[in-house]
Structures are given as structure tokens and as C-alpha cells.
Chain A
């Protein structure tokens, strides 16, 4: 089969995409092969760059695999204790109202260890943007169940699958936050394919714009692959995400300009968007 040189950039072509996000000092990291967290991080960082918010941005990091990026992120950061990032972000925003403040947390960090922090931050309508990387397991500590693990999902301590009678039901954190008056923009994206990544990036943009307009609390949940914690081959991660987590944590904008959208609305939109993305990819590009 004919192979094309991919070592040297071509001379007669226009570059449309770069290796790493500008806001990472190096693209190297030690996250597992096939991990979704770097993709979600790229959505966030590229959006900060595109909105020209870099100089005024302060991030608050939770604790999880993604925390490794705090060494190579080229934005101001504060490290919070497990689950406390939204409260720390509240303090930062109140002292520095002109700053753009985001938090980055996993589902174990946000929904297990510090659920009340994000709920109260949303209820108070703090003008910060919380980003959740949701893979339904404690990835960093070996793949145990979290509060967002869906029924039937196999984890280290739910070997037969999560059982409602024994383990309880998952918390759909995006839906929960959307009900709170102080939350203005709530969305759930995913990184299981290119179309989902492009859509998630738009959600991050809308959330940050909401914060810029000082319109209240904004939240973007991003479903990410954790093939290591799920004990599956890397190539099966995107399909597994779509069929397990994605079936329960339904993707879409759950609340826009303060209006809550129904699951039926989200489903209908998801079907239409999938067709659109497939057509645009076939036509040769996802950019507008």
C-alpha cells in the first residue's frame, strides 16, 4: 500500500491544526493510551486561547489523572484539595472579579468527594465555569465505582456491574445542577469522536462567554474515555463510552440562558447533529 511522508510538513499547504494546544508547554504527558482527558483539556485550552482570555484566566485544579497537567499548563493555577475546587474558585473570583475562573475536576473529585461544593457554588450563582471530566470511575486510583457509574457498569468494586439495590443509583450531576436557579448554562459533551469533540468545544466556549457576561454559574460536563479503569482495549473506549455512560448521561445543552431542556429535546437534537457531523466530515472538515 502506498504510504505518504508524514515526517515533514508539506510546502504547498496551509496548516489547519497544530500538534498541541498553545497553553501546554509540552504535549508530552504520562496519561494512559486512549485516555479522553487530554482531549477534553484541549477543548478547554484552545477555547481560552481563541477567546483571548489567557492573561486573565485562573484555573483551579481538582485531584485526578488530569492534575498531572498542572506541571505543563501555561495558565495561572491554584491546586485545591479533593472536591473543593468550586469553593476555591468562588474565593478567587470574589477577590479577582475580572479574572476568568475555571475549575477542572473528575467525577470522583466533584461528585463523590466534594458534591456539596459544586452544588452550593451553582446555587449561589457564582460567575465561574466548572468543568467536569466524567468517566464513571476513580481512574487515578485503579478504576473503582464513583457516584456517576451507570447501572450495569463493571468496575473494580462492582464486578458484576453496578446494582441499584446494593450500590444505589448514579447521580446525573449535570441534570441536578441544571435545576438550580443560580446555574445559567449547563451542558454535557463528550470526546468519543471528532464530532463530539468539536461540539464540546462549542459548549466550553458558551460557558466561558456566559461567565464573561457575568450571567451566573456555568458548567460543562465532558464524558471521557478511561480504557485503563474500564479494563477494555483502547480502541473500544469510544464505543463503550457511547453505549454505557452516554446512554444515561445524555449529551447536549441541558440549560441555556436559564431554560432547562428536556431529555426528548436532547435526543432529537443528538440524532440531527450526528447526521450533520457525518455529512460535514465526509465533505472534508469540521470547521465552520
Chain B
């Protein structure tokens, strides 16, 4: 096991998402990926992986206002399989 540090995190309004994927490419550390589950409207939505910096790039580019962005007072370490 190793650890990845996250300086920030986000919430995602999955039901508001229209699956455009703009957030995926906008995220500088590339910690967003498209999930496989469908929301009520039939769209895929993003998943967050460890390493978010709280930079808010995802919020800036989301046309459907799906994100809230937070910065931790103390960075969070998440254990990940090596």
C-alpha cells in the first residue's frame, strides 16, 4: 500500500450531470474519471479519485453546475494499492 495526498475535495450532483466530460479533461491532476452508472436522465457522471487539489477547475468548466469544491485545513492521505 502507498498513500496519495488530497489537498481538497468535491461534491458532485450526479442527477444534474449531463455526461459532457468537460470536467474530466479540465482537472489538472487528472483525478476525475467517468463512471459507468447512469443517472435518472440516462447520463454517466464523473468519479473522484485521490489527489484532488481543490483548484476548482472542474467547477469552472461544468455547464450543469454539478460541483462544490472544498479545501482541507490539513491535507488528507488516502491509502491506495501500490
Evaluate contact between A33 and B18: CB separation under 8 angstroms: yes
Contact of B20 among A6, A29, A234, A282 (CB under 8 A): A234
Query: Known contacts being A20-B65, A38-B65, A281-B28, is A235 close to B21, with CB within 8 Å?
Result: yes
Contact residues, A197-238 vs B (CB, 8 A): 197-198, 227, 234-235, 237-238
**Whole-angstrom distance between the alpha carbons of A15 and B73 in the complex?**
11
Q: Which residues of A contact B33 (CB under 8 A)?
A: 1
Evaluate contact between B70 and A28: CB separation under 8 angstroms: no
Chain B 13-26 per-residue mask, 1 if CB under 8 angstroms from chain A, else 0: 11010111110111
Q: Which residues of A contact B80 (CB under 8 A)?
A: 2
Evaluate contact between B71 and A16: CB separation under 8 angstroms: yes
Contact residues, A1-51 vs B (CB, 8 A): 1-4, 6-10, 12-21, 24, 27-29, 31-39, 42
Evaluate contact between B11 and A286: CB separation under 8 angstroms: no
> Within 8 Å of chain A (Cβ to Cβ): is B74?
yes
Q: Which residues of B contact A16 (CB under 8 A)?
A: 8, 54, 56, 69-71
Chain B 39-76 per-residue mask, 1 if CB under 8 angstroms from chain A, else 0: 00001000111101111111111111111111111100
Task: For A2, give the chain B residue with the smallest CB separation.
Answer: B80
**Whole-angstrom distance between the alpha carbons of A29 and B21 in the complex?**
17
Q: Please classify how large the interface on chain A is, using the bins under 10, 10 to 19, 20 to 34, 35 or more.
A: 35 or more
Contact of B55 among A2, A8, A234, A286 (CB under 8 A): A286
Contact of B13 among A19, A33, A235, A237 (CB under 8 A): A19
B interface residues (Cβ-Cβ under 8 A, vs A): 4, 6-14, 16, 18-22, 24-26, 28, 33, 43, 47-50, 52-74, 78-81
Inter-chain pairs besides A19-B68, A34-B20, 7 sampled, C-beta below 8 Å: A14-B70, A19-B67, A32-B18, A33-B43, A39-B60, A235-B22, A284-B55
